[in-house]
Structure formats: C-alpha cells, structure tokens
Amino acid sequence: MNGIRLAFYMLSVCLICTPSLFAQSDIQLERDTILMGSKFQITIVTPDSALGNLQIDQAIAEIIRIENLISEWRSHTQVSEINRQAGKQAVKVDKELFDLTKRAIAYSQMTNGAFDISIAAMDKIWVFDGTMTEKPTEQAIQKSITNVGYQHIILESVASTIFLAREGMKIGFGSIGKGYAADKGRELLQAQGVKGGIVNASGDIALWGTQPNRKPWRIGINNPFKRHGIAKILKLKEAAIATSGSYEKYAEIDNIRYSHIINPTTGYPATGLTSVTVYGPSTEFANALSTSIMVLGLHEGKKLIKRFPHYKIIMITDKGKIIKR
C-alpha cells in the first residue's frame, strides 16, 4: 500500500513451541489468514478440533467486523466517512469507534503528540513500497503537517459524533488497529471457554493460558542486527506484545535508510531506535507505547515506560545496543 500506515510495523516476534513429552488430551490448532491487509495467525488449545475450528471461524469474523468499522482504506466505513467530511461536518459513529478514538486522543495527550492518529493525513508524502527515490521537499512536508494534530479531532459524547476540524485532515487506526483486533479476538475466544491460545496480528500478539503441555507460551523477540538472532525469549501465560521497528519497512534514498515511523510533529521519520517491543496486559496499549517510544527516542521512551509498571520494554538502538526495562 502507498503512504504511511503507522500501525503496519512488521514486528519481530516468533512463536517457539515446545513439544510435549506426554500424551495430552488437548491439541493445538493453528490457522493463518490475511486480515486487515496483514498476516494473522490464530492458535488455540482445544480438546475438539471440529469445535476449535468453529471457534477460530468466529474469531476471524470478529476481526473482519472490526476492520469494517475502523478501516480508512475501505470506502464504506465510518472512519472513511469521517475523513470525507473533514472540515465540513461531524459524523455520528458507533460507541465502539467513539471510545477507540477517545482512547487514541488520550494516548496523544500522554505522549505530547508522539502518538497521533491524524498522521494519516501524511499518507501521500512518504511512501514505503520501494518506489520512492527522492526525499519529499521541505515545503511538502511542512504543508502536510498542518493537517496533523489530535487537538483538532472534536468528540461529542452525547451525540456520539467525531468531527475533524480542518479540511484535509484524516484519521487512521493503523497504529493500534491490529492490536485492538488481537485483544478483541482473545476476548471472544476466552468467552467461548478456549483455555489457551494466541491471536497474532502480524506481530501484535494477545495470548492467554498455556500450550497443550501446560507450559507457558514462548515468544522470541528478534534482534535485527543478528541473522536468526533472538534478543530475548519471553515465557508468558497471559500477556500482550507489540513491536515497532524501522528495519523491515523503509525507504532508502541516497544510501540513507528512512524509517516508515513518522514523527507527527516534524513530519520526518523517527531516528535513534531500530526496534521497540512492549509487553503487558493490553495489545492496543502496548501498540500505542511502542509507536510512541520509537518517536520519542531512548531517553524520553524510558521516562514514558516508567509511568506504566504493568508494562515492560525491550529497546534496540540503531547501534545494536539492547536495553531492557
């Protein structure tokens, strides 16, 4: 896709399964599919493969429902209508979308704008599909950031409306949308009684329970500076993981690599960090934190993560140094 997808961070994580030494009544089902323009993998632990496949079907249906609510790339969605009406009129939306937008604005406020869903207005300035051969002009960048600013997203709770105050503004949930979908997929499967599993939304991961052998899930965090290298293996039973990185999606111009993660204030790619992995209870919030810390950089990123003791972080600098908190 052309343009900026703040949430399309090709995250560096891998599932490491440990074979059981004993016969188990439970089995592990996995299914790969394409949702929200990305690869999803849904894994569940179940005693019944037929029932398990039906449950995976329902999780996929839930993620499709979310995409049809929040996608800015599908013309029929409420988000697309909000963007079409920018500077013109407010749009009435479902409570779910209203609440998601409200949380996104809160993430912007807590990061002083390092996170901003209105960065979608810059989707034609930087292009990370391999076709960009020249940097955008300073004039183009400065013009585009005039349409970026979470302060101009106006919410009216009684009417449940969203209004973009400036013509040319856009919002997009690329930065937290897949994390939100992973959380909702996990929530649905847990409500159905699935005792353990993983919803992996192209690296944004919500997991719970254990493997069939009763051992925790093992998630490897890749080190982009070492071929097949693992920075850390996480052993988890109930957690969410999100990674933002600058090394898999970028534009290379005049032998300089430009990250696809854009600073909403300056309009330029973030620098200093190559990878940020955040893990804690919520995939959506871990997504917001990893994005923000990529923009804020090492020093300010450390300060931010300290405010949330239920979340931990693995940062890899552009020099290859690994920092864990």
Q: Which residues contact 229 (CB under 8 A, 6 or more apart)?
A: 222, 223
Residue 272 tokens, joined: 């200093």
| φ/ψ of residue 162, rounded to 5 | -125, 130
Q: Let me know if 271 is exposed, middle or buried by CB neighbors in 10 A (0-12, 13-18, 19+).
A: middle
How would you list the strands of the sheet with 273-280, edge to edge?
27-35, 38-46, 196-201, 204-208, 239-245, 273-280, 312-317, 322-324
Number of neighbouring beta carbons within 10 Å of residue 113: 19
Does the annotation list 292 as a binding residue? no
Does the annotation list 271 as a binding residue? no
User: Which residue spans within 141-264 are E strands per DSSP?
Assistant: 153-156, 161-164, 196-201, 204-208, 217-222, 230-236, 239-245, 250-253, 256-259
Residue 202 tokens, joined: 């192209």
CA distances from 91 to 71, 95, 118 (A): 15, 12, 16
CA distances from 142 to 5, 268, 304 (A): 19, 10, 27
Number of neighbouring beta carbons within 10 Å of residue 128: 22
Report how many helices (DSSP H) and strands (DSSP E) the chain contains, helices first.
7, 16
CB 60 within 8 A of CB 42: yes
CB 192 within 8 A of CB 51: no
Annotated binding-site residue numbers: 175, 291
Annotated binding-site residue numbers for Mg(2+): 175, 291
